[in-house]
Amino acid sequence: MQVISVINQKGGVGKTTSCSNLGAALALAGYRVLLMDLDPQAHLSIAFDRMPDPGDPSVYTLLGGHHSIADVAQPTNVDGLYIAPTNLDLTGSEQEFANEIGREILLRDALQDYSRSKNAPDIVMLDCPPALGLLSLNALCASDYVIIPVQAEFFALQGMAQLHDVLERVQRRLNPNLKLIGILVGMYSKQRNLSREVVQELRNHFGEIVFSHHVRVNVRLAEAPSHGMTIYEYDPRCAGAEDFRIVATELASRLGLQSRPGADLVPPAKAENHAMPNFE
């Protein structure tokens, strides 16, 4: 079981869109994938039409120690894709758990238990909130890998130094295994010089850690969640579906995942060194 935080403290950069559609692409390729909604806004849960009623098993009751992941995880309409949803109860959790001993590792403990169960998925993707508070810290402490989605916009790099600083401190003090596995450029438009400039600047800073394929601006990606669907159910032939399929292939290869029978994924690439890039 490999755990991946999809994180950027900025809102609206494509974290939730990437989680649901990368997760779906990997599930369609034959992997078992669990998505977890760590954002109190519950966008991921709403997008799958799985928002729990207050008090029902959710990421909130999981972190509170009342339920296990097996209680919280539910199947979605995509074969092999599961979701651990949340509801607005999670909003107060940062304060509520602030004085708890081991407050950063509540999720790590729950995932470690789950990884030993026979139902453990191949991949867990954590949809982080747009803040670097306790929920994001829980995600980073529980993760093997980090994906940072960014928009191909002028402010793409703004905030990256702060995020990098947090990743480095988590790596040093709490989770030495944490690795950055990819920076995913979204809202890319080939026609715009700005998109190309932003990608160039990201490559100058981060080199090959930037996924070689970008997710284009595609209105179908914005429409799908309002129908409770991933892009593969809503419009499997649109550009957004193709982009996430290609990025999922690249991700599986970087993770060194073995292809599944019938899986539409390339064989694992040679082991690469996905160390944290240097900002200097």
Residues of this chain that interact with ligand ADP (CB under 6 A) are: 11-17, 43, 130, 186-187, 215, 217-219, 221-222, 240
In angstroms, what is the minimal distance from the CB of 94 to ligand ADP? 18
In angstroms, what is the minimal distance from the CB of 16 to Mg ion? 3
Please identify, using beta-carbon distances, which residue of 80 and 225 lies nearer to ligand ADP: 225
Which ranges of the chain does DSSP label H, i.e. alpha helix?
Answer: 15-28, 43-47, 59-63, 69-72, 93-96, 106-115, 134-142, 160-173, 193-206, 219-223, 231-234, 239-255
- Helix and strand totals (H; E) in the chain: 12, 7
Report the SS3 class of residue 277.
coil
129 binds, among Mg ion, ligand ADP, none (CB under 5 to 8 A by kind): none
In angstroms, what is the minimal distance from the CB of 223 to ligand ADP? 8
Please identify, using beta-carbon distances, which residue of 13 and 180 lies nearer to ligand ADP: 13
Q: How far is CA 106 from CA 59, 78, 95, 230, 234, in A?
A: 11, 28, 14, 29, 35
Please identify, using beta-carbon distances, which residue of 13 and 72 lies nearer to ligand ADP: 13
217 binds, among Mg ion, ligand ADP, none (CB under 5 to 8 A by kind): ligand ADP
Q: At what angle do helices 239-255 and 15-28 cross, to 10 degrees?
A: 70
Please identify, using beta-carbon distances, which residue of 10 and 67 lies nearer to ligand ADP: 10
Cα gap 35→182, rounded to integer Å: 18
In angstroms, what is the minimal distance from the CB of 141 to ligand ADP? 21
In angstroms, what is the minimal distance from the CB of 222 to ligand ADP? 3
30 binds, among Mg ion, ligand ADP, none (CB under 5 to 8 A by kind): none
Please identify, using beta-carbon distances, which residue of 46 and 257 lies nearer to ligand ADP: 46
Please identify, using beta-carbon distances, which residue of 12 and 207 lies nearer to ligand ADP: 12
In angstroms, what is the minimal distance from the CB of 189 to ligand ADP? 9
- Phi and psi angles of residue 5, each rounded to the nearest 5 degrees, phi first: -85, 130
Report the SS3 class of residue 255.
helix
Could you tell me if 155 and 66 are in contact, meaning their C-beta atoms sit under 8 angstroms apart?
no
- Phi and psi angles of residue 224, each rounded to the nearest 5 degrees, phi first: -50, -45
187 binds, among Mg ion, ligand ADP, none (CB under 5 to 8 A by kind): ligand ADP
Per CB under 5 A, residues contacting Mg ion are 15-16, 43
Cα gap 143→124, rounded to integer Å: 9
